[in-house]
Structure 1
Amino acid sequence: MTPVVFAFKLLIGVPVALVLALTAIWYVWESGNTVLYDSFAQKMFSGLENYGLLAIPLFMLTGEMMNEGGMTRRLINAARVFVGGFRGGLAYINLLANMFMAAIIGSATAQIAVMARAMTPEMEREGYDTGFAAATTAAGGLLAPVIPPSMLFVIFGVLAQVPIGDMFLAGILPGLLLAASFALVIFAIGLVRGFPAGSWYTGPEAMRALLACLPALTIPFAIIGGILFGIATPTESAAIASTIAFLVGWLVYRELKPAALWEMFKRTAFNASMIVFMIAAASVFGWVIIYEAIPQKLAALLTTITSDPFLFLLIVNLVLLCVGMLIDGIAAVILVTPILLPIATGNYDISPYQFGVVICLNLVLGLLTPPVGVGLYITSSMSGVTPGRILRSLWPFLLAVAVVLILLSRFPWLSTALI
């Protein structure tokens, strides 16, 4: 009966955190072992007793301060220095700026909202098709869950009990591979459509753009450099990044006012609390899953189908593609990790880092695919382009993501080489 209750609550649109918590309560009641109620609150709280979870609100706060402090515009100008002169240069600028933003914000929805507002009108003014402009911006948001620091990697690292810093390192090569595949898509579409010619900055203009961007670039260097050289943990790097974002926005660019901090703190607290509550509820739900030996039963079923890790990952990719279309990426990671990770590592000897990269990239695809497609609707509302028109221009990028997922599933070293 418990699986029926779980599926019914998901279908009627109950928030995922409540679905997880209420399903666990229903299971305890149905089992008759009511003494488990005494451990319920303790299990929820123990799910939050992880230092790494502090990185989530801190990375969110960094993104808020960047937006308020005028750093996004300067990163876009810096991207123009490197790729602006190519034919279709503004599309490459969009992609490169998204890479910069992904190395700072770590949230696909936040990145899509910021970049759709900044880049889509600019591309339209220079003669690009509005659907393609919005689609390029939306696809660039898919870099956020892979290029560190990634909020999904933080959550997966907590659930999988692997070092978050190593998860960040695991995402570097896949992130670069994904960006390269998007660049190839832009190049191919440009050949067919004949994109507008780009224009290079003059020497003095390029120098001004790069100098203006340097303070903002200290943020990704502080995050990734601190982790790579063992100077700071991911959580400490997030705190350092938010401090740098505040000081740069306030003292260097003079666009971030201290009076705006209270509103940013409130928005960050509200958004982070939803994620933290989901993790607490998932802790209780995972307790039920382990009690019922669901991973072991599912593993027994899957191993009768295939013993090949690559085929297992392809099956998982197909299943998660459907899951991601219906459930938010963060909620889906919280939901599927306790079930599938023990099978991947225990029965197929798949690295948790490879598995984490694959499922995080796969599940975030749901942001841009109907029927839920939150990222699709965010792009539409920010750019004024209909979701259908965006989707018609988006499919080559989605195909590129599918190819990258197959490569990541087939070659473990793409995820583990830097760890």
Structure 2
Amino acid sequence: MTILIVILFFVLLFMAIPISLVLGITTILYFFLVGNTTLLESTPMRLYSGLDNFGLLAIPLFMLAGELMNGGGITKRLVTFARVLFGHVRGGLAYVTVVANMFLASILGSANAQAAMMSKVMVPEMEKEGYNKEFSSALTLASSIVAPIIPPSMIFIIYGTLSGTSIGGLFMAGIIPGILYGIGFISLIAFIGYKYNFKKTTKATGREIFKSTLNVLPALLVPFIIIAGILSGAFTATESAAIASVVAYLVGALLYRELTFNKIPGILINTVIATATVTFLIAMANIFGWMIAFEQIPQAIVSAMTTLSDNPFVFLFLVNILLLLLGAVLDGIAALIILVPVFMPLLTAFEIDPIHFGVIICINLTIGLLTPPVGTGLFIVSSIAEVRFEKLVKSTMPFLIMGILILFVITYWEGAVLLIPNWLGL
């Protein structure tokens, strides 16, 4: 029966049916095949219970904060600030794309949302400066993968909820890996820039830097309040999302005066649509996970992996290879919800810290946004930037290789991930 489930799953997937529907259809057909009506009767309750978790409330709240910041002109000022600081060096606008993505990562927490937004903003700007369109699009897409790493992070919230791991600890654990990705991509740009002789632009004056800094300070209030509040224990990660939304509204409406009342309905509609998409996927993945648990697939995987090796380094290597392959064909959130219950029993056996493992699995599945054939980031940027899909894939390869190299550094350098959480006692 297990083989039949796998075949059915991939047939539906390659028919280009949305992944959330694939998960649900596969599960319901399985229940009919085994003839277990009790499972069918319990399915609605399982769908509801998969969403009945306080931690998941942070998802719509962070999405709302991101929409408010975008509508209130906060995003635009962060990009301008990055350009004033780094735009004058060789390949400056490419560096600005990476740095601006790191700023925005502390607000949005979603790589797909960030890739879509930055494709509209940075790709046309880089084209005006003479950059190749395919390179500009690939850089924008690759830089967006820091969004789920630097806090706040939607994928960390889901992992923490599924595994019972501290979401605040995961948020803090993502800071150093996010910086490492920024350094890695900047180093790659420097190499490509000198090889292809990227242009320089005029250096900003001291007055322009000062003015831009004053202009961006209110925008930086949102990530500062999120991190400071979690660190001080003033509020939880979920509560920080609500406070971030309030601050984003006040900054956009009262200080920048760009968040007008007319924009609010559109912001709320975008938030509801994005939230519904994610929560529907979580609900479907929950019943799919219930099905694979009923088939005892997790136990079979655990048994197979422990048979291969009892060395945690080998185990982590195998996990990374498995996740990289799955990330090429599965949506990251769906894969996370399916796989976390499979891997959690193994962490104790291999003495692996769940926060460290959470960062590994979340980064790995985020890299899936860059990998064909199902990498959603590729389709988003290809559509918005109007770049041929195959050309975008080719241009993304150097960034994908760099991303995988940094992933393995993070995998085997536990101290880089756990330094801040251990220091804060999380």
| Bin of the TM-score, shorter chain as denominator length | over 0.9
> Is contact 1:289–1:339 with CA below 8 Å preserved after alignment?
no
Distance, in Å, in 2 between the alignment partners of 1:298 and 1:398 is 28
> Is contact 2:299–2:342 with CA below 8 Å preserved after alignment?
no
Aligned to 1:232: 235
Distance, in Å, in 1 between the alignment partners of 2:159 and 2:388 is 33
When residues 84 and 173 of structure 1 are mapped into structure 2, their CA distance, relative to the original with a 3 A threshold, is same
Aligned to 1:36: 39
Structure 1 residue 33 displacement after superposition: 4.2
Aligned to 2:351: 349
Structure 1 residue 40 displacement after superposition: 2.5
Structure 2: 5+ residue runs without aligned partners? Answer: 422-426
Aligned to 1:75: 78
Distance, in Å, in 2 between the alignment partners of 1:389 and 1:36 is 46
When residues 382 and 309 of structure 1 are mapped into structure 2, their CA distance, relative to the original with a 3 A threshold, is same
Task: Give the residue type in structure 2 aligned to 1:253.
Answer: Y
- Where 1:35 maps in the other structure, the secondary structure is helix
1:314 aligns with 2:308: no
Structure 1 residue 288 displacement after superposition: 2.9
> Is contact 1:24–1:285 with CA below 8 Å preserved after alignment?
yes
Task: Give the residue type in structure 2 aligned to 1:151.
Answer: M
Distance, in Å, in 1 between the alignment partners of 2:400 and 2:290 is 35
Match of 1:96 among 76, 79, 99: 99
> Is contact 1:321–1:363 with CA below 8 Å preserved after alignment?
yes
> Is contact 2:72–2:259 with CA below 8 Å preserved after alignment?
yes
1:114 aligns with 2:117: yes
When residues 342 and 6 of structure 1 are mapped into structure 2, their CA distance, relative to the original with a 3 A threshold, is farther
Distance, in Å, in 1 between the alignment partners of 2:257 and 2:410 is 43
Superposed CA deviations along residues 24-78 of structure 1, whole A, max 9, x for unmatched, are: 4344444444333443322222222211111101111111112212222211121
> Is contact 2:372–2:393 with CA below 8 Å preserved after alignment?
no
Match of 2:410 among 387, 408, 411: 408
Moved more, 402-411 or 363-372: 363-372
Task: Give the residue type in structure 2 aligned to 1:385.
Answer: V
Aligned to 2:207: 204
Aligned to 2:424: none
Match of 1:87 among 79, 86, 90: 90
> Is contact 1:295–1:342 with CA below 8 Å preserved after alignment?
no
Aligned to 1:365: 367
Distance, in Å, in 2 between the alignment partners of 1:276 and 1:199 is 46
Task: Give the residue type in structure 2 aligned to 1:121.
Answer: P
> Is contact 1:104–1:149 with CA below 8 Å preserved after alignment?
yes
When residues 403 and 236 of structure 1 are mapped into structure 2, their CA distance, relative to the original with a 3 A threshold, is same
Distance, in Å, in 2 between the alignment partners of 1:404 and 1:140 is 13
1:258 aligns with 2:261: yes
> Is contact 1:70–1:255 with CA below 8 Å preserved after alignment?
yes
Distance, in Å, in 2 between the alignment partners of 1:133 and 1:31 is 51
Aligned to 2:377: 375
Match of 1:64 among 64, 67, 80: 67
Distance, in Å, in 2 between the alignment partners of 1:104 and 1:347 is 36
Aligned to 1:397: 399
> Is contact 1:341–1:355 with CA below 8 Å preserved after alignment?
no
Distance, in Å, in 1 between the alignment partners of 2:140 and 2:73 is 19
Distance, in Å, in 1 between the alignment partners of 2:63 and 2:230 is 18
Superposed CA deviations along residues 298-347 of structure 1, whole A, max 9, x for unmatched, are: 1111122122222222222222222211222222222222223333x133
- Where 2:189 maps in the other structure, the secondary structure is helix
Match of 2:290 among 275, 287, 292: 287
Distance, in Å, in 2 between the alignment partners of 1:398 and 1:156 is 23
When residues 383 and 204 of structure 1 are mapped into structure 2, their CA distance, relative to the original with a 3 A threshold, is same
Moved more, 200-209 or 372-381: 372-381
> Is contact 1:223–1:241 with CA below 8 Å preserved after alignment?
yes
When residues 186 and 26 of structure 1 are mapped into structure 2, their CA distance, relative to the original with a 3 A threshold, is same
TM-score, normalised with respect to structure 2: 0.92
Distance, in Å, in 2 between the alignment partners of 1:350 and 1:416 is 12
The alignment-based identity, stated in percent, is: 46
- Where 2:170 maps in the other structure, the secondary structure is helix
Task: Give the residue type in structure 1 aligned to 2:51.
Answer: L
Structure 1 residue 293 displacement after superposition: 2.8
Distance, in Å, in 1 between the alignment partners of 2:211 and 2:316 is 47
- Where 2:108 maps in the other structure, the secondary structure is coil
Match of 1:305 among 294, 304, 308: 308
Structure 1: 5+ residue runs without aligned partners? Answer: none
Moved more, 77-86 or 402-411: 77-86
Distance, in Å, in 2 between the alignment partners of 1:185 and 1:245 is 34
> How is 1:126-137 mapped onto 2 (pairs within 5 angstroms)?
126-137=129-140
Match of 1:18 among 9, 18, 21: 21
